[in-house]
Structure 1
Amino acid sequence: MEEAPRNDDNLIQYVCRSLEEEEEFHFLRFEFLQRLNITQYTVKLSQMKSRIQRDGKVEQDQLDDLSETLGNYATAVRNYEELRQHKALDKAQTRTRKLLLQRFFQSSDDYGDPFQSHYCWFKESQERIDPLRRMFMSKLPPRLAFSTHEKEERKKEYTEGQKPKEVSGAVDRVVRLIIALIGGTFLVAPMLIMSIKPSQNKSLITVSSAVLIFAFAVSLVVRVSNIETLVSTATYAAVLVVFVGTTTA
């Protein structure tokens, strides 16, 4: 009869498979155990508080126990908060991860479904990427979409044609050129329209339409803060208003 593999062997096989086939490492949040841990300290501290208030005094050994319990309680709360900050997996990824854990570590001694929990992964601190650059990153071929650094760091994902996480130099230059051309068009087009058979009503309608379109473009295409959006829109409107005043005069 073939001997079942040892648990530590399964651990090594599971981790090696994760390194070879998975870019992200998924882990369980253990929601039930985390809440159970916090609740037990809550009950214990509440009982200690009740006894101290009832007796009107506290002994040194009680203070030592209180200090240790408060420290454990604070640590449990911080750990729970830290785990909840990580990004949760979707249903399909959760099912896949759960089946993998069951395949490697399910035991006949387990009760119920021990691997049923909230699954998470480490949320990487990604740079702010505007929708236009993100679109080019997903549409361009990997040799252009991936930066030199990311080609070395994520060789497997690069060869498989997955989406990059960093903005490459090619993508950045293309987007900068497009933004420059669009910016020039936003200034030149309204001025040309207002210069041909100028009238006050025509100028006001042209300026209003151009400012609205510019505001939509800045809000949806370029990722900037609220203040930057307001300042850029107001500046663009001021330039057009100055041109309206000049042509009207």
Structure 2
Amino acid sequence: MEKPIIGILGNTYKTQPGLFSSAERMYVNSDYIEGVLNNGGIPMAIPAVAMKADPEGVLAVCDGILVPGGEDLNPWYYGEEPKPQIQTIRPEIDEAWFALGRAAKEMGMPMLGICKGIQFLNVLCGGDLYQDIYTQKETTILHLQSLERSYLHHHVEIKEGTHLAEILGAGTHAVNSMHHQAVRTPGEDILVSATAPDGTIEAIESSNGQIVGVQWHPEGLIHTAPEMNRLFADLVERSSRYREKR
């Protein structure tokens, strides 16, 4: 059986002026590539301009989608104006991601969202976000750790009977944490599958099995908490089944 191709949504950055002229570059973090590759999939970085120009054409060569972390999501997509605590917004990236996300959702293509990715997928399904959990909800733990992504920082409780429990097991798990926004109201047909000790939503999934989203960064834990590889293995498995039915 051919390995499924997992499209990883790309971002951009501007190089600093130096010996060569400054230029805009497309990138995906190498940890995402490793997470897919080491768990049986073929990773493919998708440029934002391609998502916007021809989302259906891009998806024609993908079997699954990984929505990675990134800057804050533009609150216009869930009907709000930006609050003072919001951080960097990239309208051109959000526009491209939503073009691809809407098409992938319509096609029923499997998706895994990580950090901004869980927030994006929730809004894609009609939900909304806390623009800043520290000022908009009662938060009793730190969600924005320092230093290495490989550090385990706080615990989450995975609910029994969820798909996430099938992947990682129900109960308490240690995770890393690098966010100040979070899912507030789950979208249509979106179930909460894990929460932090302060009640912050840490994972969601769709009732039809298409979407899994986690607020932590499993790609940073594939060596220090190897069980997190199962999230990538699950995406690869779901994408393989999707590929067989195409």
TM-score by length of 2: 0.20
Which structure's relative contact order is higher, taking Cα pairs within 8 Å and 6+ residues apart? 2
Larger fraction in strand: 2
Larger fraction in helix: 1
TM-score by length of 1: 0.20
